[in-house]
Structure 1
């Protein structure tokens, strides 16, 4: 039996995880607060997590880094080999100890929203998140997002700083992905594997760098990519494909844990 697993990291209308993002405004959210992080259950059904280029060096130790089939060839970290089953989320909702937590996950429930003139970022939050508290007075451990004068608290300012840094890195990430597409350096990629029960599976639905095409890049492209640090990113991506073995091993471990609890 062969089972195909598609690695889709985006939804048709809203970013992954977000269900009701709203712009934070004092007139609407003067008493709003942020509850403490209780875990990463919101990412439990993720198969792949968006990744920025600044994360490649550390993420490759834990995840295969591949590219989504979209216009920007968006980099994604694979966290599962079966649908709706993030292998890095523990039963208690914590992220697997010792594993890098992608910035996209750490940013949630906040997200940056471009200003109308596209000159900056405004802070938004997912109202559907369990961490969003409409009135901080209703939850004593919630951290307020606005002070009495209507300015951002340290909590909101920290979130905005993180979102801005993420936006800056994502801008570089988009440029890298588009360059790979323009250079025709990507190819569909899949991995076949066998489970302990003998069933055969395939992980597919994403792209990887075609090494032959990469080695044949024109000299001027190589010079440009080297100056931008993109040659290093390709090397990190290719090295990360060795992490598929760790992903398969972790899948087998999780299967054994479920069997033991049955």
Structure 2
């Protein structure tokens, strides 16, 4: 199952007749994860608030780091709201909707029925009185389609990074409130020296695809590690 999802089911007029999306559900569903996928199209906005790294698996995926511990999202507050005035990754905003693959490879819109977001009645119905999809469902369909396109473009970018051998293993060290030391490993970053040695023709091709901007945004995002440590220290002080 994709991160956060437990029971995704196709959005269906018969199955979801009289069903609604829960009003103001918040982001509590993401409180126990320290990273979420981000697409290259999001890098420019995400790099201002989160370190952007690549998962250390063979099929590397760019992720925004949300916490310094495995089960910690520092950006979701106790009331389930996200820290104000910060960019919220599209992967988080997409929930509880998602595309699932049907027979023949067709992608269809689904909703997670296991997260408590689908309720009887309510102010945000999935289908109207004529059993037609509401604007909520149509908007979710458009959002998921855009997300899927960005995902494909990002996968092409990551494949190019791997093919040119510029991704290297990395780790982050942080000291919280001057006493607690944390280490976060198991991820990759672009090695700036290797990146700068790429052939001019490769860099020109990447510029035309927008990949140079994505790479620079990734490198600039490293400045957010200190902000993460400061936020962790604030949380620790508040808990004490």
Query: Shorter-chain-normalised TM-score: which range?
Result: over 0.9
Query: Deviations for 1:44-79, whole angstroms, at most 9, x for unmatched residues?
Result: 111101111111111111000001123332110000
1:1-262 alignment to 2 at 5 Å? 14-118=1-105, 121-133=107-119, 135-136=120-121, 141-259=122-240
Conservation of the 8 A alpha-carbon contact between 2:176 and 2:230: no
Structure 2 SS opposite 1:26: coil
Structure 1 SS opposite 2:14: helix
Query: Deviations for 1:194-219, whole angstroms, at most 9, x for unmatched residues?
Result: 23353332111111001121112123
Counterpart Cα distance in 1 of 2:173 and 2:18: 52
What is the TM-score normalised by the length of structure 1? 0.87
Conservation of the 8 A alpha-carbon contact between 1:71 and 1:178: no
Query: Deviations for 1:19-39, whole angstroms, at most 9, x for unmatched residues?
Result: 111111223222221111231
Please provide the CA RMSD for this pair.
1.5
Give the Å deviation of 1:238. 0.2
Counterpart Cα distance in 1 of 2:130 and 2:108: 18
Conservation of the 8 A alpha-carbon contact between 2:5 and 2:96: yes
Give unmatched runs, 5+ long, in structure 2: none
What is the TM-score normalised by the length of structure 2? 0.94
Query: What is the number of residues matched between the two proteins?
Result: 240
Give the Å deviation of 1:188. 0.7
Give the Å deviation of 1:115. 4.6
Query: Deviations for 1:228-253, whole angstroms, at most 9, x for unmatched residues?
Result: 01011110000000110101111111
Counterpart Cα distance in 1 of 2:30 and 2:179: 29
Counterpart Cα distance in 2 of 1:226 and 1:113: 32
Conservation of the 8 A alpha-carbon contact between 1:64 and 1:240: yes
Residue number in structure 2 paired with 1:11: none
Structure 2 SS opposite 1:180: helix
Query: Deviations for 1:81-105, whole angstroms, at most 9, x for unmatched residues?
Result: 0121210011111101121111111
Give unmatched runs, 5+ long, in structure 1: 1-13
Structure 1 residue ranges (4+ consecutive) displaced by more than 3 angstroms after TM superposition: 114-119
Query: Deviations for 1:87-143, whole angstroms, at most 9, x for unmatched residues?
Result: 001111110112111111111000012453445x3210000122112x32xxxx342
